[in-house]
Structure 1
Amino acid sequence: MTRTLQVAPSNTEQARAWDGDEGAYWAEHADQFDLALRGYRTPFFEAAAIGPADHVLDIGCGTGEITREAARRAPAGRALGVDLSAAMLRSARRRAAAEGLANAEFEQADAQIHPFAEREFDLAVSRTGTMFFADRAAAFRNIARAVRPGGRLVQLVWQPPSRNDWFLALTAGMAAGRDLPAPPPQAPGPFALSDPDRVRPLLAGAGFADVACEPLTAPMHFGAGADDAYHFVTGLLGWMLTDLDDTGRERALADLRATLRAHETPDGVLYPSATWLITASRT
């Protein structure tokens, strides 16, 4: 029987995007998205310190790379990945099955309101997935309810745009000279948790303590070469071209090619990036 996805009214737009074309694009290019963030994998899992019998919740799991690794590290436990995107979850299930990970499970759910069993998990993790909740206070309260006392939260989120050259360079290229307004700092999006001074009271109010925000940097990988990266980025940011005329589109695509070529290295097209590794314990 097909279940209807229950979404908080405030998350309707996010659900429409992630369970639509945006999520489908991520599912189709799962390997590239995972590769882009590979530089953060080691410190993320060192902080998670997953035990062999842990029950792990992966929030915004996408195509499941983090969930699958959590399952491998907890062979006597389980890992549950939740996401809004049916397309990404189909990919996640296929990949887990191909690896024989019977203790990796996936569910389409809005973690802001999903009725997780109380105190079900030893650890909640998220790799760049928690910034998209419309009501972050409600979301973290719900996540805290699902984590046992003494359990932990580990999440990777972006530092501000000014510290992420990949974002500045790629959006500037696609802007074609336009002065594009920055999104409101509290709006759901990649940089919604970029200010530790806002994150600490947010998590404390949800029931977490010992909140720490560790700055990390790593190169973002966008493709093996400039042409490869060009096809990936135009698919990812193509929406920025919709209101341009032909001249504007040509300029934007030429500017994009130029920045990608400028960042081409023997190891691929690389841009500097900066994140916060946020850890906390459940009170």
Structure 2
Amino acid sequence: METALEQIRDQQKQTWDRFSPGWKKWDSWTMNFLRPIGDEIVNALHITAGDQVLDVATGTGEPGLTIARLANHGRVIGLDLSEGMLAVARENANQQGIANYEAVAGDVCEAPFDNHRFDAVSCRMGFMFFPDMLLAAQEMHRVLKPGGRLATCVWAAPAQNPWITTMMGAITAHMALPAPAPGAPGMFRCAQPGMLDGILQAAGFQNVHQKEMVSTVSFATPNEYWQNMMEVAAPVVAAMDQADEATRVAIKKSVFEALEQKRIDGEIRLQFTSLVLSAEKG
């Protein structure tokens, strides 16, 4: 892999290691938040009891742990750059009594597995952060058996995801942030219609299908939302680190006011939208 791409990979590793304590703290909440998307991925893979499955960007373990319960006579390997996140995944597997899940540190762009090893590959919210998305897709294709199945997801457009843009919009309204480099890793890197479809097809996948999923996430108070963003959302923290105290106060005020407008039946409800893609290896 090129030096520039290796630098992106190393930066991603450092970021996820840094935020792994926050992800551990919020793990139950986050997994419930992302569960509809994870369930859609699992359903698309048609897991059988004896399957060998690779869960890429496994983070704290999902949807790999759910898949491991279904492939109870098979095995699931969760692959991730971050040892900090993998430590949480291992702890979750132990607590849930799941013995057929193994957390492995590694880079999907240089997947440490033999050709044709897996029956299925899952990847929840990983593609947009990979240094080289095509190379990652090609590696997933390589390690799949003929007829193997892939299911993945990415965030849809910013306008469809006020759960994060409520915060980022307030930040950009009060701060002049530099524009990210074209194609740089980021949450909405794959939101353009047809982008990830094309990458999967270029990697050799067939029967590529995309489904848009819309749901909502709830917060009891604006402060709960604020704490969540400040402890798990790396782009938010990176931006807020550049703000002086007066700006931080102004941003928080704007966020809280915006959230109160989203209150329904006592809860703050924010929409999130993802694109779930499934494909096969011919």
Matched, 1:140 2:137: yes
Report what 1:44 is aligned to. Answer: 41
Report what 1:27 is aligned to. Answer: 24
Q: Distance in 1 between matches of 2:52 and 2:268?
A: 37
Q: Distance in 2 between matches of 1:264 and 1:276?
A: 26
Alignment of 1:112-191 (within 5 A): 112-180=109-177, 182-184=179-181, 186-191=183-188
Alignment of 1:1-283 (within 5 A): 8-19=6-17, 21-180=18-177, 182-184=179-181, 186-221=183-218, 223-235=219-231, 236=233, 237-266=236-265, 268-283=267-282
Please give the secondary structure, in 2, of the residue aligned with 1:112: helix
Q: Normalization by structure 1: what TM-score?
A: 0.89
Distance change (3 Å), C-alpha of 1:266 and 1:122: farther
Moved more, 61-70 or 229-238: 229-238
Deviation at residue 181 of structure 1 after TM alignment: 5.1
Deviation at residue 185 of structure 1 after TM alignment: 5.0
Deviation at residue 8 of structure 1 after TM alignment: 4.0
Percent of residue pairs bearing the same amino acid type: 28
Q: Tell me the C-alpha RMSD between the 2 structures.
A: 2.1
> How many residues matched?
275
Q: Distance in 2 between matches of 1:210 and 1:196?
A: 17
Distance change (3 Å), C-alpha of 1:31 and 1:117: same
What is the one-letter code of the residue matched to 2:16?
A: W
Tell me if structure 1 keeps the 8 A contact 2:38–2:62.
Answer: no
Q: Distance in 2 between matches of 1:150 and 1:116?
A: 18
Q: Distance in 1 between matches of 2:8 and 2:257?
A: 39
Please give the secondary structure, in 1, of the residue aligned with 2:24: helix
Tell me if structure 2 keeps the 8 A contact 1:55–1:123.
Answer: yes
Tell me if structure 2 keeps the 8 A contact 1:176–1:251.
Answer: no
Q: Distance in 2 between matches of 1:182 and 1:166?
A: 21
| Deviation digits for residues 101-146 of structure 1 (CA, Å, limit 9, x no counterpart) | 1111111111111221211111100111221111111111111111
What is the one-letter code of the residue matched to 2:88?
A: S
Q: Distance in 1 between matches of 2:202 and 2:7?
A: 22
Q: Normalization by structure 2: what TM-score?
A: 0.89
Deviation at residue 48 of structure 1 after TM alignment: 2.1
Tell me if structure 1 keeps the 8 A contact 2:154–2:190.
Answer: yes
| Deviation digits for residues 232-256 of structure 1 (CA, Å, limit 9, x no counterpart) | 1233323322222222111011112
Please give the secondary structure, in 2, of the residue aligned with 1:134: coil
| Deviation digits for residues 55-82 of structure 1 (CA, Å, limit 9, x no counterpart) | 1111101110211100001111111111
Provide structure 2 residue ranges, at least 5 long, that are not aligned to the other structure: none
Tell me if structure 2 keeps the 8 A contact 1:63–1:92.
Answer: yes
Deviation at residue 258 of structure 1 after TM alignment: 2.0
